[in-house]
Structure 1
Amino acid sequence: MEQTYKNRINQAYVLELLQELLATPSPTGYCADILNKVEARASALGCKTERTPKMACIITLQGRTDAPSIGLSAHVDTLGAMVRSIKPNGTLRMTPLGGYAMSSIEGEYCTVHKRDGGTVTGTILTTHPSVHVYSDVRDQKREEANLEVRLDAPVKAKGDTEAMGIRNGDIISFDPRTVLTDSGHIKSRHLDDKAGVACLFGLLELLTHNGIQPERTLKLIVTSYEEVGHGAAYLPADINELIAVDMGAMGDDLSCTESDVSICAKDSSGPYDYEMTGKLIRLAERDGLSHAVDIYPNYGSDASAALRGGNNIRAALIGPGVHASHSMERTHREALWNTIALLAAYVTEA
């Protein structure tokens, strides 16, 4: 099939949804608000949803046959932090949520989400932030013990911070700083993996709006714990194939660009299913979709978690190419369109 699927993507819908997702704080394990929005969006497209005890949203689109379902996963949980302790001067020591270089969040604006529902903004800084005061400001190691949150509040002591209702275990989210450029680039924190979730909804909107019924029933699984390694460890029993939709990494000897749909043949969890990967490559070539096939040396996905969780499935991994993953990320709109078109080709082929 020629690029009819790519030409039929509701681009405005995908970009508007992506911006809504990026603007909704959802560090790993703190995803109730964003899942409510995901469920509302799915219901608006006429799809059935269910919430698992583990805070995953499963969206079902009925297929033409009674064959086992195809699972498509993406995760709404992001990198973030948690209050580890309140220091004597009222600043906060953090513990990271997810795997990132601590240097990548230095100077970032953030929000502390209190258990009572309130929020307090702040800035993440080193404990020696000023070149005018500290001689080691450039050499201080960027590690957990040397970073703290300066709250936007008149606090001078631990008791002041406690009086605001901030407690150990409160969630800290990082400001996404989302910008859509005239060049078509999308730069923001947390494209991993809100860009993937937007791609799933781009697929869902394409199919439902155009009255296209997939060959097999689709179960879209939006997870909340991927960044800590067990997001899709549980899958419904009727799924026998899973495509994880997550960011494509860039750098070193990898061939992926910000405009490609990445097809990952192997990551640190091992090789993905040979036949599924081959089918994805064939469809991308057939439909003229800009794509890359790569090996990711330091990467795991919801498909990895599903396999390790004992699910009897075949699994593959694709997603839009993203530069500077787990840092100040950037992709291009073309990567989203190529990912959605490849998913559409896969789920509609007999």
Structure 2
Amino acid sequence: MSINYNKDRLTYYLENILKISSPTGYTNNINNYLKKELKDLKANFIETTKGALIVTIKGLDDSYQRTFSAHVDTLGAMVKEIKSNGTLALIPVGGYMMTAIDGENCTVETLDGSSYTGTVQTIKPSVHISGDEARELKRTPENMEVILDERVSSKSDTENLGINVGDFICLDTRTTFTEKGYIKSRYLDDKASVAVLLYTIELMINNDIKPAHTTNFFISNYEEVGHGAKASIPENTREFIAVDMGAPGPGQNSSEYAVCICAKDSSGPYDYNLRKTLIDVCVENNIDYKIDIYPYYGSDASAVLGAGWDVKAALIGPGVFASHAYERTHMDALIATLDLVIKYSLCK
């Protein structure tokens, strides 16, 4: 089957998704956006108690189902303490290097719906004041804080704004699309894959593409903390394929320009036969792909297996450089991932 992929449409979804802050635990806004898009597409979907979205497209065989997942939750932080000088101590949500957020702009979201901008800084942010102590200070949560863009100088000043312990801190994404097809942003892990699946759903519905097996799209919202897809996957799922990022870098085989197929991550090897079939689809359809191993990585497919689901599991996704920092990928990787998801869904 010949399908024309519209890069502008894929970019439309990705831009919109990246604009909406969604650290793990604060995903209502992004879910509302996704539900609107799915309703406009007249997609058949449900929302689980935990907040995952599951879209189902009926296939020729309903008894043996496939489920693709991507996660819409991202890294972020929460207010751990309001300090005596009005600044905010923070605690990370998800696993990242604190050096990756040093000097980043952010927004604090309060329970009453107010938003306050600020900047993540170290407790010794100026070399003119602290000299080598500033340069050598370890970037740990204890040594980082949020400086609010407000005239506050005491704990009570900040509390009077309505800011409290437990409020979410959303880091600016600094999203950039270049003329040469590069995409630079925080949270391409995993919003790039969410955009791919959303566009896949659109293509299948608008082009009346009937998959070989009933195919589900599971949009997870707790992946970054390990339990995103542990519950509520469709009962007849026999194959669960996490669509997440590949991780190019020193010693890795992944690429920013290809779909990456993971043979093994920290949870162990993925299903051999399923991996081989995915590779065969790439070869038969001239889809640029790379096989890799990620020793410090876990996915929603790992969560599914860890929860005891009896499924074949795989992990694929676009190569994303500098994962869990300021990330970069290329449109070619998104298109290759999209092509693999669609072409594999047609396989019996």
TM-score between the two structures when normalised by the length of structure 2: 0.98
Partner residue of 1:47?
43
Alpha-carbon contact 1:63-1:214 (below 8 Å) kept: yes
Code of the residue aligned with 1:180 in structure 2: it is: F
Partner residue of 2:260?
262
> Matched residues in 1 for 2:335 and 2:63: separation?
28
Partner residue of 1:155?
152
Partner residue of 1:299?
297
Code of the residue aligned with 1:314 in structure 2: it is: K
Q: Which runs of 4+ in 1 moved over 6 A?
A: none
2:77 to 66, 69, 81: 81
2:246 to 223, 245, 248: 248
For 1:57-76, what aligned pairs fall within 5 Å after superposition?
57-76=53-72
Alpha-carbon contact 1:10-1:205 (below 8 Å) kept: no
Farther-moved stretch of structure 1 (134-143 vs 64-73): 64-73
Which digits, 9 at most, give the CA deviation of each residue in 1:215-258, with x for residues without a partner?
Answer: 11111110111000111001221211111000000112211111
Alpha-carbon contact 1:9-1:202 (below 8 Å) kept: no
Unaligned runs of 5+ in 1: none
Alpha-carbon contact 1:111-1:175 (below 8 Å) kept: yes
> Matched residues in 2 for 1:65 and 1:282: separation?
21
Identical amino acids, percent of aligned pairs: 48
Q: Does 1:180 align with 2:180?
A: no
Which digits, 9 at most, give the CA deviation of each residue in 1:144-177, with x for residues without a partner?
Answer: 0100000000000000000000000000110001
Q: Does 1:196 align with 2:202?
A: no
> Matched residues in 1 for 2:238 and 2:40: separation?
27
Partner residue of 1:21?
17
Shift of 1:55: 1.1
Code of the residue aligned with 1:162 in structure 2: it is: E
Q: Does 1:97 align with 2:93?
A: yes
Partner residue of 1:117?
113
SS of the residue corresponding to residue 59 of structure 2 reads: coil
> Matched residues in 2 for 1:26 and 1:186: separation?
19
> Matched residues in 2 for 1:181 and 1:326: separation?
21
1:106 to 102, 109, 118: 102
Aligned pair count reads 346
Shift of 1:109: 0.3
Q: Does 1:228 align with 2:236?
A: no
> Matched residues in 2 for 1:10 and 1:64: separation?
26
Which digits, 9 at most, give the CA deviation of each residue in 1:4-52, with x for residues without a partner?
Answer: 34xx122211111100000000001110110111111122222111111
Code of the residue aligned with 1:338 in structure 2: it is: A
Partner residue of 1:31?
27
Farther-moved stretch of structure 1 (71-80 vs 204-213): 204-213
> Matched residues in 1 for 2:218 and 2:67: separation?
7
SS of the residue corresponding to residue 130 of structure 2 reads: coil
Which digits, 9 at most, give the CA deviation of each residue in 1:294-338, with x for residues without a partner?
Answer: 000100000000111111111100000000000010000000000
> Matched residues in 2 for 1:140 and 1:213: separation?
57
- Once superposed, what is the RMSD of the aligned Cα atoms? 0.9
Which digits, 9 at most, give the CA deviation of each residue in 1:153-205, with x for residues without a partner?
Answer: 00000000000000000001100010000110000000000001011112112
Alpha-carbon contact 1:232-1:303 (below 8 Å) kept: yes
Partner residue of 1:132?
128
SS of the residue corresponding to residue 316 of structure 2 reads: strand
Shift of 1:66: 2.4
Alpha-carbon contact 2:13-2:199 (below 8 Å) kept: no
Which digits, 9 at most, give the CA deviation of each residue in 1:255-306, with x for residues without a partner?
Answer: 1111110000100100111111000111111111111000001000000001
Alpha-carbon contact 2:54-2:216 (below 8 Å) kept: yes
Alpha-carbon contact 2:65-2:216 (below 8 Å) kept: yes
Farther-moved stretch of structure 1 (338-347 vs 33-42): 33-42
Code of the residue aligned with 2:65 in structure 1: it is: S
Partner residue of 2:287?
289
Shift of 1:65: 2.1
> Matched residues in 2 for 1:142 and 1:238: separation?
46
Shift of 1:69: 1.6
Partner residue of 2:278?
280
Unaligned runs of 5+ in 2: none
> Matched residues in 1 for 2:343 and 2:252: separation?
25
TM-score between the two structures when normalised by the length of structure 1: 0.97
